Amino acid sequence: MAVRRDLRESFERRRQRPLVHEVRDELERMILAGEAPAGARLNEHSLAAQMGVSRAPVREAARSLEREGLVRTVTNQGVFVRELSLDDALELYELRALIAGHLCARVAETATAETKSELRAFVARMQDAADANDGDTYFAENIAFHDRIAEAAGPGRARTLYVALGKEVRLMRLRVLSGKASLAPSNREHTEIVAAIARGDADAARRAGADHHLNGKKRLLETL
């Protein structure tokens, strides 16, 4: 005899979801969405009150985000949303390029046919967005595309690292991709990545993945 599935899941979710995690996710969302702008101080008391919890979970969540590089804490002064210098951002682009190459190479070696067609669908959607000059859609699909590649590389440190560095980059809240002029070249690089993955060429995939991010760095420099 089995209990109702949805009931079981509801129990599981309730049990395994400490407040710290909820708070952490919410803080991360606020930061990445720009609701808490770079340099802003995160007031423990007011945040705790807003979320209806005590300060302890908020503090723990902050420690978590600190190690991830999204906030910095100053003793007796509080935690602040991290401000990213240009040099910081450029370095993040280089590191992401290295790890993205690693991920792409692995995906090229292990991707199933289904994964490949999924990635092609992403590129097609981005092409539509680029043609329509729809920067918002392209932006969102772009993030989802790269997350999908990271996911396809399987679990492991490389994936978590790539995702974490991606969040750090977004701290700058600079929309590098804007206008058809930069959307089209960006998606051409996506096409190359997917092509290399599709034909199982790990080395080419590594180069294409890394180059794409290094070109992103160039595009960033050009927009300044």
Partner DNA sequence: CAACAGAATTTTGTTGACATTCTACAATCA
Partner DNA sequence: TGATTGTAGAATGTCAACAAAATTCTGTTG
Residues lying near its own copies in the complex (CB under 8 A) are found at 15-18, 20, 56, 59-61, 63-64, 66-69, 75-76, 87-88, 91-92, 94-95, 98-99, 101-102, 156-158, 161, 165, 168
| Contacted entry of its own copies, DNA, none for residue 147, CB cut-off 5 to 8 Å set by kind | none
CA angle 188, 194, 196 (to 5 degrees): 105
**Six-digit token string for 48:** 């705790």
Distance between CA atoms of residues 41 and 177, nearest Å: 29
Cβ proximity to its own copies, 134 vs 211, nearer residue? 211
Query: How would you label 180-197 residue by residue, b for 16+ Cβ within 10 Å and e otherwise?
Result: eebbeebbebbebbbbbb
Cβ proximity to its own copies, 80 vs 139, nearer residue? 80
In whole angstroms, how close is the CB of 117 to its own copies at the nearest point?
Answer: 27
| Contacted entry of its own copies, DNA, none for residue 158, CB cut-off 5 to 8 Å set by kind | its own copies
| Contacted entry of DNA, its own copies, none for residue 157, CB cut-off 5 to 8 Å set by kind | its own copies
Cβ proximity to its own copies, 77 vs 112, nearer residue? 77
Helix/strand/coil for 81? strand
Kindly list the strands in the beta sheet with 78-81, ordered across the sheet, starting from the edge strand earlier in the chain.
41-42, 78-81, 71-74
| Contacted entry of its own copies, DNA, none for residue 64, CB cut-off 5 to 8 Å set by kind | its own copies
Give me the residues that bind DNA (CB under 7 A), please: 15-16, 18-20, 41-46, 52-57, 59, 73, 75-79
CA dihedral 137→175→116→149, nearest 10 degrees, is: -130
